[in-house]
Amino acid sequence: MLADEVKNTIQSAYRQLLESRELTPRYGQRLMIAEIAKTLSVLASDDDHDPPVCVVEAGTGTGKTMAYVLAVLPLAKALNLKVVIATATVALQEQVVLKDLPEVLEGSDLTFSYSLAKGRGRYLCLSKLDMLLRGSDSMQAMMDLYGEELDDPNAGDHALYESMLDELSAGNWKGDRDDWKDPISDLNWKPVTVDNTQCMGPKCSHFRNCCFYQARDSMDKADCIVSNHDLVLSDLALGGGVILPEPQKCIYIFDEAHHLPLKSNNHFSSFTRIKASITWLERSEIMLLRLQKDEFIDATEQKSMQVQISRAKGLLDNVWALLEQTLESLENIDSYENRAQHAFKLGVVPEAIQVAAVDLANQFARLASGFQNITDGLKDAMEEGGDVKYRQLAEQWFPLIGSQSRRAEANLELWLSYAATDPEGKAPCARWLSFNDNENFSDIGLSSSPVLAAENLQQRLWQNCAGAVLTSATLSALGQFDMLKMRAGLPEHTHYLSILSPFDFANSASLVVPRMHCDPSDYEKHTEAIVKALPKLLNKDIAALMLFSSRRQMLDVMQRVPGEWSDLILCQDDFQKSQLIKYHRQRIDKGEDSVIFGLSSFAEGVDLPGKYCTHVLIAKIPFAVPNDPIEMTLSEWIEQKGMNPFMTLAVPDAAFRLVQASGRLLRNENDKGQITLFDERIVNRRYGKTILESMPPYRREIFEYEI
């Protein structure tokens, strides 16, 4: 049982917060606090137990941030555990740090410290800034030799870099990209930051003042660390405890947890391009000569690496020929994300390619080891007490050699995957090739990715953490958590709870399905029907969000609507997401009409409360793209197991996406409006009726409008 002292602390803090902010107790919020606290209470017992995992689907308006903070922090502090709150994006991270946690501290007698955790890439590297501002003949020589692989010392805004140095020196800035007074473009930021393979750590002459490590120091002392999914997964991929505290000492809270399986797959995927890799290896040969000249490797090392590079190039030439033969033998080639592609059925690559992959994996293992040896030598050269110029030159070389080591490791991971045979009974890896062909350059890319995050998350997270909480407004599909359980590999002892939103759906919103007289599969008729319907459905005080599953249809509708309507449309292809939402809000504030046209990225994470969105229009049931190679491979595996992939995967996923998309309408208890779905299948197909029944209880107006 949860210790009485901790239980009393949670209850007292909740009462205080409600009183201080003049809030009414919410049944769903209290339920969420109780469920999380009960699930994690095993941590306070002396009995042997598996790490507790709690999944809470908390409908919009529950107040989930306050709930999970109150439920977890008092227990974690009592047990001397860290709390890691992981959000889906950096923007959500900052909301928790700048708004939610200060409100809890201000409105209750809870005492805890917290820190914001970001990856190295969000922080300025003092060493790179120093090199850019000092200038370096050696750096310029490396640039001339190595071309685009090295950041151009003349690229970027030098006035900006001077200003950065001034603000750092004055103590007005701590090197965090997100805290700079103006947005910094990628072009200007990339030359002054590093990743983990380029960072010299304690060997760097700027280590004592390092922006990243100073931020890390404050994190180590904090009770609560606010991170994001990507940083947690990066830490787990490195073995855990490298960037964040050790998993065994952490209770993780994953907000917007429906993103976790996909993000995990991305972290454990691999990719290479054949000709680009050959070009990179050719540049590496030149680089090795320069390293020998600068006396960081001797002639024997240079010759050994030269031999390894030559062998790797020869093997890549051979595999290029095999891949070309594979492409020529295909009757049909799919297209995905504007590239021609071919996904190997069930992830099984042809035997000849698998044999070649074994040799390439061995070769890149040798190259990765060789680059690591050079890196170790550069670290030795950076030791205190040596020649200052030699040390400075080693510091200039280190990030570049780190990049070579990372690229060799990435190739090694890809070729190991292509050399492997997936274990029977387990979900396979998706493996596919993509072909880019243009006037200047053609190349073949190879990719590999898990189709389920289950195994990686089981081994690295669920079995190793102290405990975990997963929450989001939408986690179930068709009223079940089966999809999340399968994709995330949640353990059998996981506790699940679904909390309905406190919103009065029936009186706040109507779900309208117009009579279309066509199926979305009839592209022309369906598109024309939408074009014809928009002026009828949007006729006064327009503040609308129109969501499409297809970019082609979005652009076609834009081009075909009457001229006076096209002026009202803000299309996601024309603006950055934040800028588009800002323009939309400005229009509404001025009393003007405005319609946002967006794709799937606008179906979640877009908050347009009240007058900013009174109508959400959805072009069709949002089924996943059918030629996504990962989903194709997963579907093949599901079918092989004797199940129907459409009903097992596609329908629950579409239901999940539709609930998310419709959820853009009601953002608080006072919102009202209409959701229009241009898809009769939700009524006249059996699977459609199943999807319809899983949606919130909006007032339904089926076929009351004729198009």
What's the pLDDT score for residue 196? 84
Is 224 annotated in some ligand binding site?
no
**Confidence band (pLDDT; 50, 70, 90) for 635?**
very high
Pick from 312, 497, 506: nearest CA to 404:
312
Single pTM value for the model: 0.90
Q: Please determine, for residue 578, whether its predicted confidence score (pLDDT) is greater than 90.
A: no
CB 54 within 8 A of CB 67: no
What's the pLDDT score for residue 140? 52
Mean pLDDT of 32-46: 93
Long-range contacts from 669-672, C-beta under 8 angstroms, 24+ separation:
669/61, 669/502, 669/503, 669/504, 670/610, 671/503, 671/508, 671/509, 671/609, 671/610, 672/508, 672/509, 672/614
What's the pLDDT score for residue 395? 87
Tokens at 44, concatenated: 């306070």
Q: Which residues partner with 677 through β-bridges?
A: 618
CA torsion angle for 350, 351, 357, 362 (degrees, to 10)? Answer: 170
Is 571 annotated in some ligand binding site?
no
CB 270 within 8 A of CB 630: no
Mean pLDDT of 653-659: 96
Rounded Cα distance, 411 and 390, in Å: 31
Is 210 annotated in some ligand binding site?
yes
Helix H or strand E encompassing 470:
strand 467-472
Domains (range + CATH), the chain = 4-113+222-264+454-499 (3.40.50.300), 124-205 (no CATH), 273-449 (no CATH), 505-706 (3.40.50.300)
Q: Please determine, for residue 150, whether its predicted confidence score (pLDDT) is greater than 50.
A: no
Q: Which residues partner with 496 through β-bridges?
A: 55
Angular region, 441: left φ>0, alpha ψ -120 to 50, beta rest: beta
Q: What is the pLDDT of residues 424-443, one digit of tens each?
A: 989 999 999 998 766 667 89
Q: What is the pLDDT of residues 287-302, one digit of tens each?
A: 999 999 999 999 999 9
What's the pLDDT score for residue 335? 64
Mean pLDDT of 616-645: 94
Is 204 annotated in some ligand binding site?
yes
What are the backbone angles phi and psi of residue 419, rounded to the nearest 5°? -85, -15
Express as a percent the part of the chain with pLDDT over 70. Answer: 95
